[in-house]
Structure formats: structure tokens, C-alpha cells
Amino acid sequence: MTRFALTLEFDGTPFQGLQRQKYGPSVQQSVEEALHAITGEDATLHSAGRTDTGVHALAMRSHVDLNKDIDAFRLSEALNAHLRPDPIAVTHCAIVPDDWHARFSCIGRRYVYRIVNRRAPLTLDKNRAWQVAQELDHEAMHRAAQALVGRHDFTTFRSAHCQAADPVKTLDRLDVEREGEDIRIHAAARSFLHHQVRSMVGCLKLVGQGTWREQQIPEALEARDRAALGLNAPPHGLYFVEAIYPSEGE
């Protein structure tokens, strides 16, 4: 049995998320079906994170255990051939130790959320960014975001269906940057609650357009009540950017 680590890039638009679902296509299903076509094995894909319907990934880390004798390069080439035309690509593949786990060995995760702040309809970025026509003050958004950095109870910013046992998380980074009409919100933490990034972005958008005062962000956080949430940003602007592992940080 050999454990392979995969780095996946995918457009989440046609999928019901990364994790296999009872109804509708998923990234996991597509990869596992490709693995079966290559090896004849019913392998299970384990990943560093889960993504909702419409959420994208630039570098999702996953692993799979296979009995077939195959080198990493041949496996990645075969997977990319079998995954067509699904918008999924294996950008890297390597053999890793048996105790390396894509989810449980991960010590950090990074996301970026894209807002395109313009009135004209999106063409190239359709389904890949959240279009906001009203002018946004990204500096006010960044200032307000800093109230969320650190260790907090993020109950307000978690989905009602979140399965995490504890709403307390440590947010390492939440920065808002702008280049022209493109606003990017960078979020980093060891782990996130379900919908946490999208919920934080939605409230920051309200600050940017002047609907919320900057102080309403810490007020919503302190409420520890989902009813205090102002807005949940749509999924198509969210990208899983990086999974971090101890050995790779040395």
C-alpha cells in the first residue's frame, strides 16, 4: 500500500462541493472514479478541507492509498487524462509516509475571497468572483476586519449546520487589499468553521458600503448569535489557497 499526496486545482462551479454527496456531482467523486478507472481500486480521497457548492481551490491538498505499483508522475498524468472534461487538475503528486494525513497533519489553511467592485457585468470572472456594483471602502473593511483576528468565539460567523464541536477558533490573518476594481480578502487560520470566511466577508462588505459602522463587526462577534450576522457572502468568490504542513515549513 502506497500513500500519494495530491495537490488539486478545481473550478467549483459544477460541483456540490469537494466532499462526496448523496445527490449531485462532487470533486471527490470525480477523483475517486478516475482512480478506479486507472487502478481498479475503490480508493477514498481524504482532503485538507471541505468546500461548499461553487467554492474553488487553487491548491487543495489530498491523499489516497493505492495497492497498484505506479510512480507519482504516471499517476498524476493518468488522473488528469481521466478527469477530463471536469474542471479538476492534479498539479502535483508525490509519495508520502503512511502517517502523513491531508487533513489531520495540516497545521494551517489559507483562503482568499475575491470581490470585483464595478458596475459592468462580469465576463471572464463570472462565477469566479462576487460582483458588487456599489463603491466599497476597502480601507474601512480592513480596519474592521482586525477585530476578528485572534482567538474568539465565532458563533455569529458559523453556519447553523456547522458540525464543529467548539465555535472557538484562532484567526491568524484577515487582510483586505485592493488593486483597481479587484478587492481580495485574505484569511488564515489553523482551521475554520463552516461558512466562517463567507460570513466574515459578507459583514465586511456591509462596512465597505457604509451600511454597517466599523464597530458593528466586534459587536456582532461579541453577540455570539447567528441572528447578529449581517450577510453571508456567496460561495463563488471563495478560493482555498493553501494547506500548510510542519515538514514543509522547515
Per the CB < 8 A criterion, the answer to whether 217 and 207 are in contact is yes
Per the CB < 8 A criterion, the answer to whether 239 and 112 are in contact is yes
Contacts of residue 206, Cβ cutoff 8 Å, sequence gap at least 6: 212, 216, 230, 231
Whether 52 is catalytic: yes
Sign of the Cα torsion 12, 18, 23, 24 reads positive
CA dihedral 85, 16, 185, 122 (to 10 degrees): 60
Contacts of residue 195, Cβ cutoff 8 Å, sequence gap at least 6: 52, 157, 158, 159, 162, 232
Cα–Cα dist 248/221, whole Å: 33
Per the CB < 8 A criterion, the answer to whether 55 and 239 are in contact is yes
Helix count and strand count (H, E) for the chain: 5, 10
| List of E strands, 21-87 | 46-47, 56-66
What the block records as the C-alpha cell of 191 is 482551521
- Residue from 52, 98, 166, 172 carrying the catalytic annotation: 52
| List of E strands, the chain | 2-10, 46-47, 56-66, 88-96, 108-116, 130-131, 150-153, 168-179, 182-189, 238-244
Q: Which residues are marked as active site?
A: 52
